[in-house]
Amino acid sequence: MKCCFFLQTITSGLTNHPRVKAAAIEAIEKWGTGSGGSRLTTGNFRLHRQLEERLARFKGTEDAVVFNTGYMANLGTVSALVTRGDLVVSDELNHASIIDGCRLSRATVKVYRHKDLAHLRNILSAERAACRRCLIVTDGVFSMDGDVAPLPELLDLAEEFQALLMVDDAHATGVLGKKGAGTVEYFGLEGRGIIQMGTLSKALGAEGGYVAGDAALIDYLRNRARSFIFSTALSPPVIAAAMAALDVLEEEPHLLTQLHANVQFLYQGLKEMGFQVLPTESAVIPLMVGDARQALALSAKLAERGVLVPAIRPPTVPEGTSRLRITVMATHTPEDLQWALDAFRQAGERLGFF
């Protein structure tokens, strides 16, 4: 049976790119399979630094630091940047790794309603003066709705209230911006001091996380972020794969164009069919169902036909907003997409969606 994976967050299809696979194999031959220690002890390879320099160039920052996962990047960074006596203000739909980083920091944590700038301003007006340092943190592309954070307005508020601004570009890297560098590039905010976190595990088809920003900030994180300091470094093939993926992304810009064309094709097809799909600028298409059991039933019917799309239910999303979270890839062919649309139509008809 043909199989089409719409659950993957690997939007570029780079996990299977020949150059990416060859780079990983070559790194194993040259350096072995493991790094053997943490970066600050024995696990620091030239490759790690090369990837960090490569990421900094891609993101338009002075430097970058690589963590073992995106989760660890958020955990380590938020908890290193703020502590007791500081304030962290976080969008209510931010990723769990940000939430956990906020909790771990022991700073005062305030949550603002999703993308609600007036609410954020109220919190800053009420709380900022009493705190030493302040961090505003947001997802760049929100993982469940696929919508984009209002980064320019967030930056204005950060500047007005002398706060740091951090963006989690896990779902924006390799997706948004002319070269796929994420939300900062998308909004033309390079050089404005925004702390850019991301993961290597989605569009870049490898694994690991990173933070890109000013050199002093990155140096500080290398010496303060506990999830960086106290964990064995990523293995050489993973690092080499991520670096090759960045090269491919840069040298094959059609991947980015193709990704957005595929998203639009699938979105239009589903909409015309009668499904309630949310418009998106990212690679995440939420197909709203409402009832959790209906969402599971639709996901199961699609799985029978080899189309794998996860049903997202409470507590991941609020009650009554269960949905299918469709993630499109650049490597989906027109035949893949048409075949998936046919499966959606049949499943939708069977379950009485239209």
Binding of ligand PLP at residue 95 (CB under 6 A)? Answer: yes
286 touches ligand PLP (CB under 6 A): no
Find the shortest distance in angstroms from Cβ 320 to ligand PLP.
22
Residue 55 vs 170, nearer CB to ligand PLP = 170
- Separation of alpha carbons 328 and 202, rounded Å: 12
| Whether 332 is catalytic | no
- Tell me the three state secondary structure of residue 248: helix
* Nearest CB to ligand PLP, comparing residues 158 and 238: 238
Closest CB to ligand PLP among 166 and 256? 166
Nearer to ligand PLP, 66 or 337 (CB): 66
Whether 143 is catalytic is yes
Residue partners of 98: CB distance under 8 A and separation at least 6:
74, 78, 90, 137, 139, 168
**Side-chain half-sphere CA neighbours of 312 within 13 A:** 19
Could you say whether residue 67 binds ligand PLP (CB under 6 A)? Answer: no
List the x/- string, 31-60, binding to ligand PLP by CB under 6 A: ------------------------------
Cis check for the bond before 152: say yes or no (omega within 30 of 0): no
Find, among 133, 193, 201, the residue nearest to 166 by Cα.
193
How many residues touch ligand PLP under the rule CB under 6 A: the total is: 14
Q: Active-site residue among 59, 110, 171, 301?
A: 171
Segment lying near ligand PLP (by CB under 6 A), choices 119-127, 167-175, 185-193, 226-234: 167-175
Please identify which residue in 177, 209, 286, 348 interacts with ligand PLP, judged by CB under 6 A.
Answer: 209
Identify whether the C-beta of residue 200 lies closer than 8 Å to the C-beta of residue 235.
Answer: no
Distances (CA, A) of 334 to 59, 293, 338: 31, 31, 6
**Exactly one of 90, 97, 105, 143 is catalytic; which is it?**
143
Rg (C-alpha) for the chain, rounded Å, is 21
Dihedral sign of CA atoms 267, 270, 273, 278 in order: negative
**Strand-by-strand arrangement of the 284-290 sheet:** 276-277, 284-290, 322-327, 311-312
Among 58, 71, 161, 186, binds ligand PLP (CB under 6 A): 71
Q: Say what the alpha-carbon torsion angle 338, 341, 343, 349 is, to the nearest 10 degrees.
A: -140
User: The tokens of 137 are what?
Assistant: 């943190």
Applying CB under 6 A, the span of 65-73, 240-248, 257-265, 280-288 interacting with ligand PLP comes to: 65-73
288: its two tokens:
């709203």
Q: CA 299 to CA 288: how far, in whole Å?
A: 12
74-91 per-residue burial string, b: 16 or more CB within 10 A, e: under 16: bbbbbbbbbeeebbbbbb
Is residue 182 close enough to count as binding ligand PLP by CB under 6 A?
no
69 binds ligand PLP (CB under 6 A): yes
Cβ distance to ligand PLP smaller for residue 39 or 301: 39
Catalytic residue among 59, 202, 301, 332: 202
Q: Which is nearer to ligand PLP, 67 or 275 (CB)?
A: 67
Instruction: Indicate the residue among 143 and 299 with the shorter CB distance to ligand PLP.
Output: 143
Region 120-149 residues binding ligand PLP, contact defined as CB under 6 A: 139, 143
Task: Please state the closest distance from residue 100 (CB atom) to ligand PLP, in A.
Answer: 10
171 an active-site residue? yes
CA distance 212 to 93: 22
SS3 at position 61: coil
Closest residue to ligand PLP using C-beta atoms: 70
- Residue 235 as a binder of ligand PLP (CB under 6 A): the answer is no
Any idea which residues carry the catalytic annotation?
Answer: 143, 171, 202
Q: Which residue ranges make up the site for ligand PLP (CB under 6 A)?
A: 69-71, 74, 95, 97, 139, 143, 168, 170-171, 199, 201, 209
